[in-house]
Amino acid sequence: MSKPSLARGTRDFGPSVMVKRNFIFDTIKRTFQKFGFQPIETPTIENLSVLMGKYGDEGDQLLFKILNSGDFAKDLSQKDLDEGSKKLTHKISEKGLRYDLTVPFARFVVMNRNDLVMPFKRYQIQPVWRADRPQKGRYREFYQCDADVVGTDSLICEAEIVLMLQEILQNLGIKNFTIKINNRKILSGIAEVIGVKGSEVPLTVAIDKLDKIGKEKVEEELRERGFSEEAIGKLQPIFEIQGNDTQVFEKLRLWLKDSETGLKGIEELEKVWSLVEGFGLTNAQTQLDITLARGLSYYTGAIFEVKANGVQIGSISGGGRYDNLTGTFGMPGLSGVGISLGVDRIFDVMEELNLFPDNQDVTTKVLVTNFDAEAEKYSLPLLKQLRDAGINAEIYPESSKIKKQFDYANRKNIPFVIVVGSDEIQSGELTLKNMELGEQEKLSIDLIIEKLK
C-alpha cells in the first residue's frame, strides 16, 4: 500500500474546474476556427535531438528527459559516472517531453512540407512540461494555446491576431485589457540612432523595467551594462514620447528618421493599425509600446503582449512575427506570425474578476429520484425520453431517502429534480422541483422536456 500523492508542480482538475477550463478552451477554439485556423496535435514525447539546443542552456536543463527502456545501464562504467550527469544523460536518455508548441510545430511543418497548404494556419492546444521550480501560478505541466500562420508575410495576419484576441477576451467576459504592440524593427532602429546597433537585447532588458523602477534606475542599469553617456543621452526621447498612438508614431518617425529599419518598423505597425480599422473594429484595445520586447532574439517584426487590467497577474498572451521558424531543421526562410494564450493565467484573471458563467449545460440538467423498485421501473423509460431529447439526465442509482437524493443534486449543481412517488405514478403528472428557487410544480413528462430543453 502506498500513500498517494501528486508529483510536484502538477495538478488534478476536478469537475467544477474542468467545466471552467473547458469554457476557456472552447471559446479560444471557436475563435481560432472562425478565422480559418485548423487544429493539429503533436506527440508529448519528442526525440531529444529535436528538442535540445532550441531553448538555450537553461531550457535544455528544464526539459523533462525520459529514461531509455530496457537494460539502459548495461554499457555504463565508472568513467561515464565521472563525466557527470549532463554527459551521462545523453547515454541513458533519447527522448523528452514537449517543452512548448513552437518547436514541435516547426518539426511538423518541415516533415510535412510537401503536403501542407501554404499559407498554413494552424492552432494547437496541448500541455507542455518544464522542470521549473514550482511556485504560485507556475506549474511543471500546463497548457498552451497557440495559433500561427506560416508561409506569408502579409500584415493582414497581424491585424487578424488583434481581432482574434479582442474576440476571445470579449467572449470570455474580460472587458478591460490592453493589447500592447511593438515591432522588433523599431527596437533595432532605436539601437541604431543612439549608436549601439546590435545591442538591442541589453538595451531592451533595461528599458523594459521603466514602469517598475523609473527613469533614473533604468539609466543606471544601462551605465552598468556599458552603455555610454552619449548613447543614454540620445535615448531620452524614449522617456518623453507620449500621446495617442498617432502622435507617438509621428514623434517616433522624427526620432528614427535616420534608420531605414526603424522607419520600416513604424510603417508596418501603421499598416496593422489601418488594417484593424479597415476591418471595422472600432473598439480595438491596442496600445503601441516601444519598450515591449518578449523573446527578442526570435521575433523579427510585430511583437504582441496582452495584459488584463485591474488585476495583478502577468501577461495572458504573447506572440509576434518571426522569419525563420524552421531554419534549425534545414528549411530556412519560412516567415510566420503567431500568438500563444496562457490558460492558467486567464483562469486566474476570470476567477479574480468572477467572470465564469454558470455552465449548467455541460453537467447534469435533471436528476430523477429513486425511492423503490416500482418507481425505478417507472422512471427508466422517462429517463430515456429525456436523454433522447438531448437533456443531460440521470437517475439516482439506488433507492434512497429523498434528503440524500436532493443533497446529491445540490452538491452536483443539478438544477432540477423530477420526483417520482406513488402519486406521480398514479396520475402521470410528475413533480418537477427547481433546486435553486425551491419551487415545484406537477407536469407531464412532455411538458417537462419542453421546459428543460
Across 245-297, the runs of DSSP E, i.e. the strands, are: 286-288
Residue 384 interacting with its own copies (CB under 8 A): yes
Residue written as cell 445540490? Answer: 410
What is the residue-wise DSSP string for 169-211?
A: HHHHT--SEEEEEEEHHHHHHHHHHTT-TT-HHHHHHHHTTHH
- Distance of closest approach, residue 447 Cβ to its own copies, in angstroms: 20
Quick check: 121 binds its own copies (CB under 8 A)?
yes
Does 377 engage in binding with its own copies (CB under 8 A)? yes
Q: Kindly state the number of chain residues that form the binding site for its own copies, as judged by CB under 8 A.
A: 111
CB nearer to its own copies: pick between 42 and 315: 42
Q: Is there a cis peptide before residue 119, judged by omega within 30 degrees of 0?
A: yes
Residues of this chain, 3-32, that bind its own copies according to CB under 8 A: 3-7, 10-15, 18-19, 22
Query: Least distance in Å: CB of 344 to its own copies?
Result: 13
**Cβ–Cβ under 8 Å, residues 388 and 382:** no
Looking at residues 99 to 118 of the shown chain, list those that interact with its own copies (rule: CB under 8 A).
Answer: 106-108, 110-112, 115, 117
Residue 379 burial by Cβ neighbours in a 10 Å radius (0-12, 13-18, 19+): buried
How far is CA 83 from each of CA 59, 79, 353, rounded to the nearest angstrom?
21, 6, 52
Residues 217-256 touching its own copies, rule: CB under 8 A, are none
Q: Please tell me the distance from the alpha carbon of residue 61 to that of residue 396, in angstroms, as a whole number.
A: 51
Whole-number Å distance between alpha carbons of 254 and 422? 86
Rounded to whole angstroms, what are the CA distances from 145 to 278, 318, 383?
Answer: 27, 11, 38
**Least distance (Å) from its own copies to the CB of residue 445?**
12
Report the site for its own copies in 34-93 (rule: CB under 8 A): 34-36, 38-47, 49-50, 53, 61-62, 64-67, 69-74, 76-78, 81, 84-85, 88-89, 92-93
Residues 292 to 331: which contact its own copies by CB under 8 A? 327-330
Report the residue number, 210 or 331, with the smaller CB distance to its own copies: 331
Residues 346-375 that bind its own copies (CB under 8 A): 362-364, 367
Show the binding pattern over residues 257-296: x = contacts its own copies (CB under 8 A), - = does not.
------------------x--xxxx---------------
Interaction pattern, residues 397-426, with its own copies; x per rule: CB under 8 A? xx---------x--xx--------------
Element (H, E) at 110: helix 102-111
